[in-house]
Chains A and B, each alone.
Chain A
Amino acid sequence: MSAAKNKHNTEDYLRMYKQMVRIRAFEDNANQLYLSAKMPGLTHMYSGQEAVAVGICEALTDEDRITSTHRGHGHCVAKGADFKAMFCELLGKAEGYCRGKGGSMHIADQSHGNLGANAIVGGSMGIATGAALSAKRLGKDFVTVCFFGDGATAQGLWYEVMNMAALWKLPVIYACENNGYSEYTKTEEIAAGSLTARAEAFGIEAFDVDGQDVLAVNELTRQLTERCRNGEGPFFIELDTYRYHGHHVGDINRDYYRSKGEEAEWKTVRDPITNFGKWLIDQKIMTADELVVIDNEISADAQAAVEYALKARYPDGSEVDMHVFAGVDHALEYLGGAR
């Protein structure tokens, strides 16, 4: 755990701890919903990577934008989303963030600057860069963080947009969550050379940080967002982390690409929540009992939200052709002739 800086106060630490626990609680419940066949489709668990989303998003304001990925629940929670609307979205209910039209892989929460998860690997790299162009062109102060995994570094789009972001000095931070696996393949088998060197080739300052250390991630992001606002962007961060589950919830048999021993080691030795909890106790910021109270409260919140979402109503069938076009109530009517 990195050394604490005095400017952090207890409230910040507590919030970071809570947000990480909230992500874990959300994912545990989402996993249960899948396992018990109560959730349509499937989903990708963020558990294990909490310090990345929380460390970064706690350095951002609501005005700052993020783009997220198929493994996006963590980003969404960390950026301030509400459990109920998220679970409703996961279950395809009308009160979901996207009225049930997006589901797990497309949750967008405009109110907190989340421009949406994306089911195309690397699909949001252009969007994040474009948001940064908007900020610069329109004289706005916001910074955009583009979350993506190590797998997405194999997409050509990234090199195109990094090039332009560097040419135009855009306030964007490319945050690569390297969890060691590109779906079912070890990252070292799909990535030649070093990832940081790829960004550096465009003259972009690149950093490698321990993605299990929420304070280290947060401290670095604070510095980089500040520098982005001063026109020094873009930046690249590689965050070393680990996903506890498979590529998706149904990826149970994964011995062929990684061992149970490896998983156990990350979970016991490097868990971002356990370790940060210990540090809070060591620093006498919190007691073990206080942390248990927090854990239990959040767990109850999550379960209540699940119950709520399970009972919530599905969107009315009439919504199926709504939101195809902005400014058009029902697309089918419109497409048959505007008059």
Chain B
Amino acid sequence: MTREITLSKAVNEAIAEEMRRDPTVFLIGEDVAEAGTPFKVLSGLVEEFGTDRVIDTPISEPGFMGIAVGAAMTGSRPIVDLMFGDFLYLVMDQLCNQAAKTHYMSGGKLKVPLVLRTNMGATRRSAAQHSQSLQAIVAHIPGLKVAMPSSAYEAKGLMKTAIRDDNPVVIFEDKLMYQDKAPVPEEEYLIPFGEAKIKRDGRDITLVATSSMVQVAEEAATTLAAEGISAEVIDPRTIVPLDEQTIINSVRKTSRAIVIDEGHQSYGVTAEIAARINEKAFYHLDAPVIRMGAMDVPVPFSPALEDLTVPTAEGVVENARKICRGELVHAA
């Protein structure tokens, strides 16, 4: 049976199911218990699991991140709730120097099975310190896996897989999508890491998009279809590991690609995927691969400015149209 539920509910269900299944799983973070987080994603969990397993912390991100690493090394499977993705900068030592490297530094003796769930995404008028999409920074660190659900369905399946993974996994949820509904089976399912999903088949151009940018790409594909341009939309679902093969196969077929992600464009996820396409499908390319990331500026507050910084469906359509017609997006 499948019903439509919100992304928020899907995350909540995934965590609840895994906590019922495995008593070593617990939640830790700021205002996760009675408050259920500011986005209310975790509402109701403390009633079922108690404050022993849904643990409110002081506002001490490095502290509870470090505690989660130690707990993970000693038989627990913590889920760390980081209220805003921007706070990743506060936990970098514990996440990148400790969690990510422990398995390697110990020659495989110690494991750190933890999930860090946090969020991303601009256009909530939250300005530069509550709007960032920092997935590229985390994806750069060997030892961390990174998942980016694009709908309620993905959010649930990826969360369950993350909780069962024996490694540190960072999940970025787009905070604008918490109320978006999608069909989600009532039966249990998991989504394996490293398996992209072809959201739409196409022949003329490949749109690789992450998280909420999948919606942007699908909207663009609909517009393009009306103009006779057939766009294939691919959602990698995890950027570490990346299902390179599905992307490469698609580009070999379509000969053109645009990569869309809401992180800053420079040195970002779009750059990485574009580079891999270039390396592995070069002789199939009939146009330069186009990156579409967030503008390389801190996220501004004013709506008039903020909306200019993120990739839009119109922008994707415009670029797709140009490269399918053989026009230039950038200099020849």
Q: List the interface of chain A (C-beta within 8 A of B).
A: 65, 67, 96-102, 106, 108-110, 115-116, 118, 120, 123-135, 137-138, 140, 144, 156-157, 160-161, 163-164, 167-168, 322-327, 331, 334-339
Contact = CB atoms under 8 A, between A and B. Distances in A.
A123 to B, nearest CB: 6
B253 interface: no
A98 B192 contact: no
B199 to A, nearest CB: 18
B74 A65 contact: yes
A134 B242 contact: no
A250 B121 CA distance: 48
B244 A108 contact: no
A127 B69 contact: yes
B62 A160 contact: yes
Contacts of A167: 58
A126 B245 contact: no
Given A126-B67, A126-B94, A335 B242 contact: yes
Interface stretch (B3-11, B97-105, B289-297, B305-313): B97-105
Given A131-B73, A331-B142, A160 B243 contact: no
Interface string B11-32: 0000000000001101000000
A214 B165 CA distance: 43
Nearest to A117: B105
Interface in B156-189: 165-167
Nearest to A94: B107
B108 interface: yes
Contacts of B63: 126, 129, 157, 160-161, 163-164
Nearest to B143: A324
Nearest to A335: B241
B197 to A, nearest CB: 13
Contacts of B26: 137
B53 interface: yes
Given A164-B57, A327-B166, 6 more contacts: A108-B110, A137-B53, A137-B71, A324-B142, A326-B108, A334-B241
A130 B105 contact: no
A108 B97 CA distance: 15
Contacts of B245: 337, 339
Interface of B: 23-24, 26, 52-53, 55, 57-58, 60, 62-76, 78, 93-94, 97-98, 102-111, 113, 142-143, 145, 165-167, 192-195, 240-246
B70 A133 contact: yes
A338 B194 contact: yes
Contacts, number: 185
Given A126-B70, A130-B66, A138-B75, A337 B57 contact: no
Given A98-B107, A116-B105, A126-B98, A134 B74 contact: yes
A97 B109 contact: yes
14 contacts: A101-B107, A108-B109, A126-B62, A130-B74, A138-B76, A160-B64, A163-B58, A167-B58, A322-B108, A326-B167, A337-B194, A337-B242, A337-B244, A338-B195
Contact of A125 (B66, B113, B240): B66
B97 A106 contact: no
B102 A116 contact: yes
A110 B65 CA distance: 21
Contacts of A164: 57-58, 60, 63-64, 67
Contact of B93 (A120, A130, A337): A120
A338 B103 contact: no
B93 A123 contact: yes
Contacts of A336: 241-242, 244
Contacts of B72: 130
A227 B72 CA distance: 24
B75 A134 contact: yes
A157 B62 contact: yes
